[in-house]
Structure 1
Amino acid sequence: MSNSVSATRDKRSLDYAIRSGLAGGIAGCVAKTAVAPLDRVKILFQASNPEFQKYAGTWSGAYRAGLSIYKEGGLRGLLQGHSATLLRIFPYAAIKFMAYDQWRPLLMPTKDHENNYRRFATGALAGMTSVVFTYPLELIRVRMAFQSRQPDHSPNPQRPSFLRAMSRIYSESAIPTSQPSTSSVSTTPKQVFERLPILKFYRGFSVTMIGMIPYAGTAFLTWDFLRAHFYPATHDRSQRPPPVANLAIGAVSGAIAQTVSYPFEVVRRRMQVGGLTRPDRWLRWGETVGSVYASGGWRGFFVGLSIGYLKIIPMNAISFAVWQSGKRALGV
């Protein structure tokens, strides 16, 4: 049996999928841990945490915000929400990379099928697949990172935790209290939708899914295109891209993808923390976009982008490189 037939068989097997997913999950955890402090600062800026808005808008502001967090909570403060990040990122990255390896041979079964449209679609589908299964963990992680300090009137100050964040989300109101719903006849489908408790863990889900299309699509498009351009497919191991090349290609992929999708990310963060800033409301697309524009104009959709580059470039570089190294180590 030829090597190409063997490779096709292996990629469609459960064993290959598990090994690819394991490599992806480990890669995601390593990459996220490397940029965890920057991730926390970026979330505080994106979600307009009132205590940190004075730092937003400059490169030095990110440093000063991080220093402020460190002075108040030490290393634990910089890593606040990271436990939830790891709980989320392992399945998220595992599913994303595993899904990519499964979608790719379906959309591009041969070399002749490879083009930028299919590369983009493959990446978008992989990203959307992972979001569907892991979004509640992402919301909990953002809530933990957003909370900067306990109210002064709190008799027993407690650090944000995964279970406390989950409990708070569950107890939040999903529909405006001013809208009565005394009978099933007057209840709209939207109100019924928002009453379901599980949907409280999907605040900002629609904008996340839409934003995932340009982000994951562009990231994997760039990754696949650059690898195919500089390192054409070959069975000669000596001709495969070295780790430093995977780092560089991953970095470029992350920078381009971040720029394209960033406005969606800002809107998503605002919607995700809506239960904290407006606990009686279910923030919608229109009013969230309007709020971002009213507070900062078009620049408001790019607040924290500089930190985003500092975070996403090394994170993408590390995740892609570790994913490839992990796959090789696991024999796939």
Structure 2
Amino acid sequence: MASEDAVGKTEESAAVSTIVNLAEEAKDFGEGVKAPNPAFLTISKSLVAGGVAGGLSRTAVAPLERLKILLQVQNPHSIKYNGTVQGLKYIWRIEGFRGLFKGNGTNCARIVPNSAVKFFSYEEASKRILLIYRQQTGNEDAELTPLLRLGAGACAGIIAMSATYPMDMVRGRLTVQTDKSLTQYRGIFHALRTVFVEEGPRALYKGWLPSVIGVVPYVGLNFAVYESLKDWLIKSKPFGLVEDSELSVTTKLACGAAAGTVGQTVAYPLDVIRRRMQMVGWKDAASVVTGDGKTRAPLEYTGMVDAFRKTVRHEGFGALYKGLVPNSVKVVPSIAIAFVTYELVKDILGVEMRISD
């Protein structure tokens, strides 16, 4: 019995020892697990803020976005859309309420990551450009000039555009297709796969060059005008708009509207050419009905310069600004909402770093 008791005590002691060791190991493991890196959290929150800003701003103006694209690719011999109001009424009558938002799901699927990357890339590019600028000038208190902000915005736009361009390409086709189109893209991924198989991988980047060239002044001017205008208002405090170095939401919306108007006016012709190049090779856009009822093949473009030349030759210089009115009406609230939403979401998420910082 004594030996059995001894064995029992030994086993009990061993069990207790094992439990203690496991507890200590668990404690050590818990202490070894590090909390999320603050920089990682800041980056994640910044990306989330940019994505929310992009999705909300584009959904708010989705009907105008679709009408703009339809006007851009509309054949001059078969005009269906004569203006903003008439165009929206026509879409409503033919396709109903859902027709106004056709392609918006694809647009948001593209613009959410695009906007997230764009805002984050701008902040990172701004920090690095500012660091180099201060080193070159020897002034540790130097701030970004409008030209440097333009450069940072251009870098951000190129990175974001290139990363999400195939989504933009198929979004254009989804927006243009109707119930009568021979090929029906069922969604984003079906369109991506169909274009890839039928037209080749390079087709996913049709119109990329004018897009990149256009995004330099567009995104660059958006950020440069928005930030510079905010700085000017804070420093000069005109008309009593600024109190305690903080702009109101209304004033920020006005700054965003001004930025969007300047950017899109400069870059719009490149956007028209991009859309037209994206339609090349799509068999549902391979023929159009002219005014006399005959079928005519649309123009084929060998490149960006050729697209510019043929568009101006056959339709006049004004063709480069087709859809500008609905786009202008769209851009003002869209860019304004995007900038303000981005800053508000970052405030909600507790990210102290602002674009200006």
> TM (normalized to structure 1)?
0.80
Aligned residues: 288
Tell me whether 66-75 or 157-166 shows the greater mean CA deviation: 157-166
In structure 1, what is the equivalent of residue 345 of structure 2? 326
Match of 2:180 in 1: 150
Q: Is residue 2:110 matched to residue 1:91?
A: no
Residue of structure 2 aligned with 1:141, choices 171, 174, 180: 171
Does 2:79 correspond to 1:53?
yes
User: Hey, what does 1:260 align to over in structure 2?
Assistant: 266
Are positions 1:41 and 2:63 aligned together?
Answer: no
Letter paired with 1:218: L
Say which SS state the counterpart of residue 13 (structure 1) adopts.
Answer: helix
Corresponding residue SS for 1:112? coil
Q: Identity of paired residues, percent?
A: 30
Other-structure match for 2:129 = 107
Which of 217, 221, 225 is matched with 1:222 structurally? Answer: 225
1:18 alignment partner in structure 2: 44
Higher relative contact order (CA 8 A, sep 6+): 1
Is 2:17 the partner of 1:29? no
Give the deviation of 1:228 after TM superposition.
1.0
What is the aligned counterpart of 1:205 among 195, 203, 208?
A: 208
For residue 350 of structure 2, give the secondary structure of its aligned residue in structure 1: coil
Say which SS state the counterpart of residue 53 (structure 1) adopts.
coil
2-side partners of 1:52 and 1:46: how far apart? 13
Residue 171 of structure 1: how far off its partner (Å): 3.5
SS of aligned partner of 1:149: coil
Name the SS for the 2:269 alignment partner: helix
Partner of 1:182: none
Q: Aligned partners of 2:221, 2:185: CA distance in 1, in Å?
A: 37
1:296 is displaced (CA, Å) by 2.2
- Seen in structure 2, the aligned counterparts of structure 1 residues 255 and 49 have a Cα distance that, compared at 3 Å, is same
User: For 1:130, which of 149, 160, 165 is the aligned residue?
Assistant: 160
Shift of 1:160: 4.9
Unaligned runs of 5+ in 2: 1-37, 132-139, 237-242, 288-296, 352-357
Secondary structure in 1 matching 2:180? coil
Question: Looking at CA atoms only, which structure, 1 or 2, has the larger radius of gyration?
Answer: 2
The offset of 1:230, in angstroms, is 0.9
In structure 1, what is the equivalent of residue 25 of structure 2?
none
Separation (CA, whole Å) in 2 of partners of 1:295 and 1:114 = 44
Q: Which runs of 5+ in 1 are unaligned?
A: 1-11, 174-196
1:55, CA displacement in angstroms?
2.5
Report deviation, 1:52: 6.8
Q: Which amino acid aligns with 1:270?
A: R
Number of the residue aligned with 1:7 = none
Alpha-carbon offset, residue 40 of structure 1: 0.4
Amino acid in structure 1 at the alignment position of 2:320: F
Q: What is the CA-CA distance between 1:53 and the residue it aligns to?
A: 2.8
Paired residue secondary structure (1:108): helix
Q: Tell me the TM-score normalised to structure 2 length.
A: 0.75
